[in-house]
A and B are shown apart, each in its own frame.
Chain A
């Protein structure tokens, strides 16, 4: 009688991942530069090429990529363990994040042998960083309406159009782009394809967009008759929509949809211990902990489904919507708690990090599919549309 989508079968993290977690902790202790609370709060928005290279040397990138392509050939639970530990410590993992999370799995699933041999080792050694070319000025939530087009020419394709909100395009080497290869925007899910674009090609213009905190991670990317050789097409021509949906399941279900505010929580816990404990601190700490433990169990359940070869698209949407709600709640609730108890002095570092968290947190439920779009998908999973 249970509605299928609400059945999150619990799968605790296998005990075998404990040694791996200790390896990561040991590595972080030896390498870790002293990060400020704001730097920690940026976490997977932070871009640090050298740190990514150091992680790659230890084999902490491309954990699920087969060994013959330079990866570690491990399971999704191992990857979960490593990225969880990185996120909990607020490490700047943004440089390799997209490549490790979704570009490598996409290439592994749909790429040719030639593409796998070329790109995957570079991803695993942190020599190739990827960004995502999905949104356009008039295609946000309505992704199927993209107008950027690749036209077939001799020996390849000619790419023209514009992408926007492309995180770290100015720092990355490649973009995996969703474009129209036949038909028009009215054809919706038909006629879309995915390509790997080398961002050093002529005809590409990357312009920065500053966000409301003053940071530069967003970009506009313009393509003017950029030549793409035939071997840049990923998967089948015209099958781009199905491929993107499967890519988004990887994008939505991971622990980065739970932990964006975790270092703020840890810093607040530390502050609360160091000062006289306020009477309202335990309930708030428990409320956040209850959510974290539950969401972690749900995220692990999704990992298990992916391991079993399923595509838990709806389950991922559920985890992301609940997860981003918690991520958004944390900085506001902590700042509220501190401001309710003026008898204790709060460090400027914690206050600044909380202010950053509150300002940037609206993005948490925008990136990777908005709350309203996710809920629409869940409604479809419930058989309502």
Chain B
């Protein structure tokens, strides 16, 4: 892990140097595309690719910190997912597609042989390509598809990154990805890490604001009611940091089948509690477009339900436990952790 310290610092520096660019979209607008091009030029997109393919060959345990950094700096773009996908399907990517932002989208149950629908696709606004997976049917082969071929619907809410995407011609359903991989767990784990980065950032912003803002003649950070709230927020964010690190560390070859969902469930819970407190401490200023808090809280709201909500994963994990493979929690630890 220490070998990657310099890489991680380089990645941090790069993202911080781009912080004046709003990342509103990767292709719409000059600033956004400039920022993405700088990321492409840096080579970090291929960080998980094999070393003989020009990557750094990093595995999931090494990646937690990079995904956290992505969420702390660039919540608008699918940077973490693009790094994951580039590593996984590098051979399927052409020179044209390999440098584009790629996200993962979930095949909706109302898809059929003529229509492939994805509802509320994550990073629908900023990704150019999608790996479409079926969250319920692991036998359905994922497809790599360009957004340009899809009908796009922006949910009538431009401030959400979600888009409904529909590919209506079976011939445009794209290339099958024919190896088996726990895509949903991977997407959940990357998202949990990215969320942790945004959570770290909103804690930093909120602590800073609470020390600057004065009411009733003193800094609002001096009021016990505010202190107790910020402590709760710090506790939740500590939990997110701990569980994402733990889940990544235990994901050696592939994302851990149980811990990836645990990480997503716990981080989604932390996000809901934390973003409410962050906005409560800020008051009206936090709701404005020009203030940075909303960049991260809006993303957190989208990610909370992306790739399985808190209860989606809790239900899966609970079913496993109730299914009887292990007699009690002690056996669960011995078997799984």
Contacts and interface: CB of A to CB of B under 8 A. Distances in A.
Contact of A283 (B200, B246, B249, B314): B314
B159 interface: no
B204 interface: yes
A375 interface: yes
A379 interface: yes
B316 interface: yes
Interface in B75-134: none
Contact of B311 (A2, A281, A283, A372): A283
Nearest to A383: B207
A384 interface: yes
Contacts of A282: 314-316, 318-319, 322
B239 A294 contact: yes
Nearest to A293: B262
Given A10-B249, A290-B262, A318-B238, A384 B207 contact: yes
B321 interface: yes
A285 B328 CA distance: 12
A153 interface: no
A333 interface: no
A58 B203 CA distance: 47
Contacts of B311: 283, 286-287
Contact of A378 (B200, B234, B319): B234
Contacts of A376: 224, 227-228, 231
A284 B315 CA distance: 8
Contact of A293 (B207, B228, B237, B243): B243
A226 interface: no
B39 interface: no
A6 B197 CA distance: 12
B262 A3 contact: no
B249 A272 contact: no
B51 interface: no
Given A283-B314, A285-B321, A379-B230, A10 B245 contact: yes
Interface on chain B toward A: helix, strand, loop, or mixed SS?
helix
Interface string A270-297: 1011000100011111110111111111
Interface string B297-337: 00000000000001101111111011010001110111001
A136 to B, nearest CB: 24
B337 A12 contact: yes
Contacts, number: 176
A272 B337 contact: no
A149 to B, nearest CB: 31
B26 interface: no
Given A262-B329, A383-B207, A378 B318 contact: no
A21 B245 contact: no
A337 to B, nearest CB: 11
A10 B317 contact: no
Given A283-B314, A285-B322, A286-B318, A5 B330 contact: no
Residue from A1, A5, A13, A383 whose CB has the most chain B CB atoms within 10 Å: A1
Interface residues on B, range: 35 or more
A6 B240 CA distance: 9
Interface string B67-79: 0000010000000
B285 interface: no
Contacts of B318: 281-287, 289
Contacts of A243: none
Given A282-B315, A384-B221, A3 B200 contact: yes
A378 to B, nearest CB: 4
B230 A382 contact: yes
A218 interface: no
A273 B322 contact: yes
19 contacts: A1-B201, A3-B234, A6-B237, A13-B337, A85-B330, A269-B322, A281-B322, A284-B314, A286-B311, A286-B315, A287-B314, A287-B318, A292-B329, A294-B246, A296-B333, A297-B242, A376-B228, A383-B207, A385-B222
Given A289-B314, A289-B317, 19 more contacts: A3-B234, A6-B203, A8-B241, A13-B337, A88-B328, A272-B322, A281-B318, A281-B322, A282-B314, A284-B318, A285-B314, A286-B314, A286-B317, A321-B231, A321-B235, A375-B228, A375-B231, A378-B231, A378-B235
Interface of B: 72, 200-201, 203-204, 207, 210-211, 221-222, 224, 226-228, 230-232, 234-235, 237-239, 241-243, 245-246, 249-250, 259, 262, 265-266, 269, 310-311, 313-319, 321-322, 324, 328-330, 332-334, 337
Q: Which 8 A-B pairs have the closest CB atoms?
A: A286-B314, A286-B318, A285-B318, A282-B318, A8-B242, A10-B245, A379-B227, A375-B231
Interface of A: 1-3, 5-10, 12-13, 18, 21, 25, 84-85, 88-89, 262, 265-266, 269-270, 272-273, 277, 281-287, 289-298, 301, 315, 318, 321-322, 372, 374-376, 378-379, 381-385
